[in-house]
Amino acid sequence: MIAQTPQLVHRSAAQIARTVRGPRPIPDVAAQQPYRLPPLVDTVLPNGLRVICVRQPSTSMTELRLRIPCVPRGTEALATAEVMAATVLRGTTGRDHRETDTLLARSGATLDAVRSPMWLNLIGSAPRSGLPVLLQVLADALADARYEAAEVESAKGRLAERIKVVRSQPHVLAQEALRRHCYRDDPAVQDTPEPAALAAVTPAGVAALHRRVLTPAGSSLVLVGDLDPERTVAEVAALTAWWQGGPADREPIRVPELRPEPVRLVDRPGAVQSQIRLVAPGPARTDPSFGAMSLANLVFGGYFSSRLVTNIRETKGYAYRTDSRIEDVKDTLRLAIEADSATGYTAAALREIRAELARLVDGPLPAAEVESARRFLLGMSMISLASQATLATNLSSTLGFGLPPQWLTDFPETVRTVRPEEVESAAHRWLDPRAFTGVVVGDREALAPALAELGAVI
């Protein structure tokens, strides 16, 4: 007898949510346990390179993060640094980029270079058997990157096209307008090279910047994965013994101070959507209020259940995207609020942003909101350390912030113990609506009358 296949019956979410006894019970969220860093070795080699090796054999892979200080000063240096990041792995004297790519691929390894505002980041991964190859390719690039004329010209062309496309995007136009409004033309906060400066970059200039900037002192190498920490440190020390040089051009970056100026309306004729960008000074990560402020930011607009998202996106529909965050600007932190809105709702969205800031600063903060934000932040902290790749990236970033590896575990414990009244105090200190400046980018003719009624918009 042939067994009959059971007929599938569709059940809605509402039906699944109920049983014959009533609503289906939802289990309580399990208590979040403190995170402990895996076994690691943290040392500084004789040449000044800091190396952290972490044994986390969750897979047979190893993640690599090399972070080298690279702070271009001026438009020419910025353009040269971009080209250097695009070509540092494009061949050495003994191996062109095709041979390098083939060697890495056969070993199951990858290696990329990415420039951020203050760093050149070399990011790689490899299986256990391919780690020696990955380390050798990295060492070869640091010692002997070739910067051939054809590779440099090709990189300049690719970068010019990418910058042209990027600068046509509304959110990038808004960020550029915000930078000019807050910092004028200060080169310390310029992160995108100008076309003329990019066109002037030469192979000799790129090679000279490599020799001057890519030095071990002040740099850090993080390796996380299926490895023996002590043995891996010894391998790295042997491969980089030739790499010498002290920190070059690493004076502190002095970012201009944010001032509470009126919001500026930046004209984008014919735009049917507007970008609202507001910023204010924020606390350093070492500030005692940083944990409380992180929770205050989440309550305000830092996650989907926040007040700002609930108000102007979910309830009133004034904005199709909004959030708030604490972000880095070189070696300082600032609070940033963003909202993207249809032109007809822009003034209303800005009014509600200011109202929510005032409500958070002036009103009581229910413990339930703080607890919800706390659970979210603790959960995201655990997720950010769960895999080899995320642990390596966050360890590298923590070192870049000038903090010890233990900060990754200390900060969640700080968040765990923050009291609601401390969050209220942090909000009162840092989220005063009068402390914010910024821009609204959109059609001036359509926006000006309604924004003028709000005040503090020029």
pLDDT digits 0-9 by tens, 38-94: 999 999 999 999 999 999 999 999 999 999 999 888 889 999 999 999 999 999 988
Task: Give the percent of the chain with pLDDT over 70.
Answer: 97
Low-confidence winner among 215-224, 225-234, 238-247 (lowest mean pLDDT) = 238-247
Q: pLDDT for 311-360, tens place per residue?
A: 999 999 999 999 999 999 988 999 999 999 999 999 999 999 999 999 99
* Buried b or exposed e, range 217-243, using 16+ CB within 10 angstroms: bbbbbbbbbbbebeebbebbeebbeeb
The reported pLDDT for the residue numbered 15 is 81
**Residue-level pLDDT at 331:** 84
Instruction: Return d(Cα 458, Cα 454) in angstroms, integer.
Output: 11
Q: Each residue of 88-147: pLDDT tens digit?
A: 999 998 899 999 999 999 999 999 999 998 999 999 999 999 999 999 999 999 999 999
142 within 8 A of 187, measured Cβ to Cβ: no
pLDDT tier for residue 28 given thresholds of 50, 70 and 90? confident
On the question of a common fold for 40-240 and 264-453, the answer reads: yes
Instruction: Identify the CATH homologous superfamily for domain 264-453.
Output: Metalloenzyme, LuxS/M16 peptidase-like (3.30.830.10)
- Domain residues of the chain, as ranges? 40-240, 264-453
- Please report the pLDDT score of residue 6 as a whole number: 64
Residue 357, burial from CB neighbour count under 10 angstroms (0-12, 13-18, 19+): buried
| Residue 270 backbone class (left: φ over 0; alpha: ψ -120 to 50; beta: rest) | left
Angle at 117 between CA 114 and CA 120, to 5 degrees: 35
Four-point Cα dihedral 220, 225, 231, 233, nearest 10: 0
Range in 110-119, 164-173, 232-241, 250-259 with the lowest mean pLDDT: 250-259
Say whether 457 sits in a helix, a strand or coil. strand
**Confidence grade of residue 13 (pLDDT, cut at 50, 70, 90):** confident
pLDDT at residue 29 in the model: 66
- Spatial separation of the C-alpha atoms in residues 112 and 134, rounded to whole Å: 11
Q: Hey, what CATH topology would domain 40-240 get?
A: Cytochrome Bc1 Complex; Chain A, domain 1 (3.30.830)
DSSP string, 82-130: HHHHHHTTSEETTEEHHHHHHHHHHTT-EEEEEEETTEEEEEEEEEGGG
3-state helix/strand/coil string of 398-453 = HHHCCCCCCHHHHHHHHHHHCCHHHHHHHHHHHCCHHHCEEEEEECHHHHHHHHHH
Q: How confident is the model at residue 432 (pLDDT cuts 50, 70, 90)?
A: very high
Q: Is the pLDDT of residue 451 over 70?
A: yes
